Every structure is written in structure tokens, then in C-alpha cells.
């Protein structure tokens, strides 16, 4: 099945997004993680998973349940933190390379599926949506001890890495590549070296997240339905 798989705060309610995108839908819960899936005959939306363990467990259970299988398509959706002035707060960001220095991956670089990536870029270009492509890295958590939040640098990676998330994009991409599932990742920038996540109010952060959840899920849907 075609799948939009969200990263982020697991307490967010995706019912309004499912209703807007899918119209009529059914739901089921993913065992172990208890993430909720909204689906119709064509596509499913998985609500937000945070961190590598929840992403891996949810994807693994989806495979065991037969909800995703070989040659299916997934667009991962979420946010990233920028390490450079080349990607600013609110920018749309698409990783074309993803690396990780945890779990024994030793900075191994992964790539999304070129056909899904191409369709995603075409959808954004058609709507004249500006976006940045870049090499993406992985942190263990927002306050990973290897990440300096004053200088916005990571001791795990060199300057070729322009942004990070909490391993979600890497774990998702690696799972898909190992299981021959076509995939790409679509993110927005939630903080940058000038506008630090610790300085953004919860109200401002939540409002931004809600707005981008709606936009990114819409563009992911359009990509998968191409």
C-alpha cells in the first residue's frame, strides 16, 4: 500500500489531516508502538513516530501485518534542524543523501529511491514550492551530547552534513532499502543556527508544526498518487 509515514511528536492528533486528505477513512492501531493508521483503498497515513526505536518497530509491524510489502511506496514526513545558514527556519528540505554514526552504521550513506524522489520534486516544482536538497545526518535526540546547541555544530559529522533529525529518516530509509520498498523523505526546517529551538515558544513551535504537517502530508499524497 502507498504510505505517508510521519515523524515527530507522538501526541499529535492526525484525524484532521486524514479527513482532509482521505475523506472517508478507516483506522487501525499498530501493535507495540500503538501508532494509529488512517487508510482508504489507495493510501494510508501513519501518525507521528519519534526516534529510531519507534520508527523501526512501527515499520516492522506494518510489514508483519502485511500493510507494507516489497515494491510499495513510502514518503516519510517530518522536521529537521539546520546546521547551516543554507537552510533556514521554515524551509522545505529534501535529503538526497542520509548518513548515521550510530548503531554501527559508521556514517554509511543511504539514498532515497530516485523515482519517488523525482516525483516529489516534480510535485513541488509544479506548485512553485521552493525547497532545498542536501546531505542529512542523524542525532540520537534533540539534545544529543554530540550536538552543540550554542554553535549549532555536530562532532559526529563534517560540514557536508547540513541538517539533522533524531535518526528517523535514516532508520526509515534503511528499512525500506533493505526490504525493497520505494521511498523518499520530505521535511521542513524547525530550527536553525539563528532561530534556536530552545528559544521558540511552545505556542509558536506547535503552530508551525501543525501548518507544515498539513502541507507536507498533502504534498506526500500528491507524490504517491502520481
Q: What phi and psi, each to the nearest 5 degrees, are found at residue 148?
A: -95, 110
Give tens-digit pLDDT for 79-93: 999 999 999 999 999
Q: Confidence band (pLDDT; 50, 70, 90) for 133?
A: very high
Contacts of 137 (CB under 8 A, 6+ apart): 98, 99, 100, 101, 154, 156, 157, 161, 163, 164
Q: What is the pTM of this model?
A: 0.96
CATH topology of domain 2-224: Rossmann fold (3.40.50)
pLDDT surpasses 80 at 29: yes
Contacts of 167 (CB under 8 A, 6+ apart): 51, 52, 55, 100, 102, 103, 138, 139, 140
- Taking residues 25-41, report their average pLDDT: 97
pLDDT surpasses 90 at 149: no
Looking at every residue in the chain, the average pLDDT score rounds to 95
- Taking residues 3-19, report their average pLDDT: 95
Give tens-digit pLDDT for 56-78: 999 999 999 999 999 999 999 99
Give tens-digit pLDDT for 175-211: 999 999 999 999 999 989 998 777 777 787 778 888 9
Q: Where are the domains of the chain?
A: 2-224
* Integer CA distances (angstroms), 120 to 54, 112, 129, 198, 218, in order: 25, 11, 11, 31, 11
Count the alpha carbons within 13 Å of 207 in the hemisphere toward its beta carbon: 5
pLDDT surpasses 90 at 220: yes
State the DSSP string of 141-170: STT-TTEETTTTEETTS-TT--EEESSHHH
Return d(Cα 190, Cα 78) in angstroms, integer.
Answer: 9
Amino acid at each position: 500500500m502507498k504510505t505517508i509515514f510521519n515523524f515527530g511528536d507522538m501526541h499529535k492528533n492526525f484525524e484532521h489531516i486524514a479527513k482532509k486528505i482521505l475523506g472517508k477513512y478507516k483506522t487501525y492501531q499498530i501493535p507495540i508502538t500503538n501508532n494509529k493508521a488512517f487508510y482508504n483503498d489507495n493510501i494510508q497515513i501513519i501518525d507521528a513516530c519519534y526516534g529510531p526505536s519507534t520508527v523501526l518497530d512501527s515499520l516492522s509491524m506494518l510489514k508483519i501485518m502485511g500493510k507494507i510489502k516489497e515494491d510499495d511506496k513510502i514518503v516519510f514526513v517530518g522536521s529537521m534542524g539546520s546546521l547551516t545558514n543554507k537552510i533556514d527556519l521554515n524551509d522545505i528540505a529534501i535529503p538526497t543523501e542520509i548518513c548515521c554514526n550510530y548503531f554501527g552504521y559508521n556514517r554509511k550513506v543511504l539514498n532515497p529511491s530516485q523515482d519517488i524522489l523525482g516525483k516529489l520534486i516534480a510535485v513541488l516544482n509544479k506548485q512553485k514550492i521552493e525547497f532545498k536538497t542536501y546531505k542529512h545526518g542523524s542525532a540520537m535526540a534533540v539534545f544529543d551530547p554530540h550536538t552543540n546547541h550554542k554553535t549549532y555544530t555536530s562532532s559526529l559529522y563534517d560540514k557536508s552534513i547540513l541538517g539533522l533529525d533524531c535518526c528517523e529518516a535514516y532508520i526509515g530509509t534503511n528499512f525500506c532499502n533493505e526490504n525493497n520498498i520505494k521511498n523518499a523523505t520530505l521535511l521542513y526546517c524547525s530550527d536553525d543556527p539563528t532561530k534556536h529551538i530552545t528559544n521558540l515558544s511552545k505556542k509558536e513551535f506547535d503552530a508551525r508544526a501543525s501548518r507544515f504537517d498539513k502541507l507536507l502530508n498533502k504534498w506526500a499524497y500528491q507524490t504517491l498518487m502520481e
